[in-house]
Amino acid sequence: MTIDTAHTLPTVDCDTHKPWSNWGGNQTATPAFTVRPTTDDEVVDIVRFAIREGLQIRVVGAGHSFTPLVQTGGILVDLSGLSGVTGVNAEAKRARVRGGTPISEIGGDLWDLGFALSNQGDIDKQSISGAISTGTHGSGIDLGSFSASLRWVRLVNGHGEIVEIGEDQIDELRAAQVALGTLGIFLEVELQVVDRYYLQERITYPTWSQTVSTWDEDIDGNRHYSFLWCQQDASAALYELPTPEGESMVNRSYTKRYNAVDVDDTDADHTEGSRRDRSYRIYPGGFMIPFHELEYYVPREHGRAAVEAVQDLIRDVHPDQEYPIEVRWVKGDEGLLSPFYHRDTTVVSVSGAPGTNYWPYLRDVDAVLSQFDARAHWGKIHFMTRERIARIYPEFEKFVDIRRRFDPNGIFLNDHTRALLA
């Protein structure tokens, strides 16, 4: 279909036929319009324009998804102009944030107000709306994902209306917690936050036998615990992980433990491997060299078996795959499409090298982890189908019904999300 770009959006900063690529370089698109709204009214105008012209809309934050979530030949909405912390309810410990705000810009503003995010991941460049919409998370068995902290959202729906969803609309809120951008454009969100706190880092390099000997102790005994298992000496460098000089990392784990400490800014320590600082300064962990990632989720009780099954797959079938296996933990939640719906979860992440044919490896990982009732990170490479999603998400049909009410004409769907959620 040829789109007439003579029909422009005069009140919005707009480009036509501007190529787009994600951070990892494995997804591209050329939208008819790329728009950069700076007000809520401009977002409404964009959606109503799309309805009139019969165009699909997708929203882009930082482009950190590896799946085709953003691709569109219609309108691509860049939310970076809608950014900032807009307020805090100190008594309820809630913070309101504009939808396009990068996670990296939230921590400092919240800290000045006496609060902090309860958790975040290795990368902090994503927009908050993108992180919520895909179930992005950090690690900590008693801590949920960004989506689990959502308590209210103001969005523009597929009717071109601004609507609010709060805790008095619990089914709709649970749908909005992980919606892949299919309910509408998030203008502002309210997050549950916590009192600000400092973290102490401890990096160690145990062998695999040492890692499994303290498996449950480490999961339950640390605020944040995760590790990256290295199968080759070259593995750690692919994620820019510092390692002990002159020592082999084969069959060893780069292990991260972060725990809260009662200190202040004068006690900050930036020594590699034992940093101590404000929580939002400790979380980000590098991972800046592009890679292409698959991330699956299995019930906590199957975590060790799932990791060892992937280790065996690498050793026996795919010894050429060098990227480490990253392993993390996330608390169960109530989001209808959340990968953590009603179960505490072990996270298993593997990556393929850009420019290589990693598909046979990732398909084999998918097959191995499917034996453990695995769910997938919506923003990372996966092999989910509509039938598979309906089988492993008990409230899938409820989500679809809500999505259809918010966007009856499917203007927020693209080919990828339509196949899964239409």
Residue (of 309, 265, 275) closest to 200 by Cα position: 275
pLDDT at 286: 66
Q: How confident is the model at residue 1, as a pLDDT?
A: 44
Q: In 10 A of CB 52, how many CB atoms?
A: 10
Q: How far apart are CA 309 and CA 31, in angstroms?
A: 41
Q: Is residue 344 part of a domain?
A: yes
Domain-located, residue 256: yes
> What pLDDT shows up at residue 4?
57
Is 170 a domain residue? Answer: no
* Residue closest to 409 by CA, chosen among 44, 179, 159: 159
Q: Let me know if residue 258 belongs to a domain.
A: yes
Is residue 412 in some structural domain? no
Question: Is 100 a domain residue?
Answer: no
pLDDT in tens, the chain (422 residues): 445 555 666 578 999 999 999 999 999 999 999 999 999 999 999 999 999 999 999 999 888 899 999 999 999 999 999 999 999 999 999 999 999 999 999 999 999 999 999 999 988 999 999 999 999 999 999 999 999 999 999 999 999 999 999 999 999 999 999 999 999 999 999 999 999 999 999 999 999 999 999 999 999 999 999 999 999 999 999 999 999 999 999 999 999 999 999 999 999 999 999 999 999 999 987 677 889 999 999 999 999 999 999 999 999 999 999 999 999 999 999 999 999 999 999 999 999 999 999 999 999 999 999 999 999 999 999 999 999 999 999 999 999 999 999 999 999 999 999 999 99
Domain interval for residue 326: 198-381
Residue 354: which CATH number? 3.30.70.2520
**Helix pair 303-316, 359-370: axis angle to 10 deg:** 150
Q: Is residue 80 part of a domain?
A: no
Report yes or no on 317 lying in a domain.
Answer: yes
pTM: 0.95
How many domains does one find in the chain? Answer: 1
**What distance lies between CA 178 and its chain's CA centroid?**
10
Residue indicated by tokens 């498996």: 215
Determine what percent of the chain falls in helix, strand and coil, rounding each to the nearest 5: 30, 25, 45
Q: What is the pLDDT of residue 380?
A: 96
- Cβ atoms within 10 Å of 309's Cβ, excluding its own: 17
Contacts of 87 (CB under 8 A, 6+ apart): 95, 96
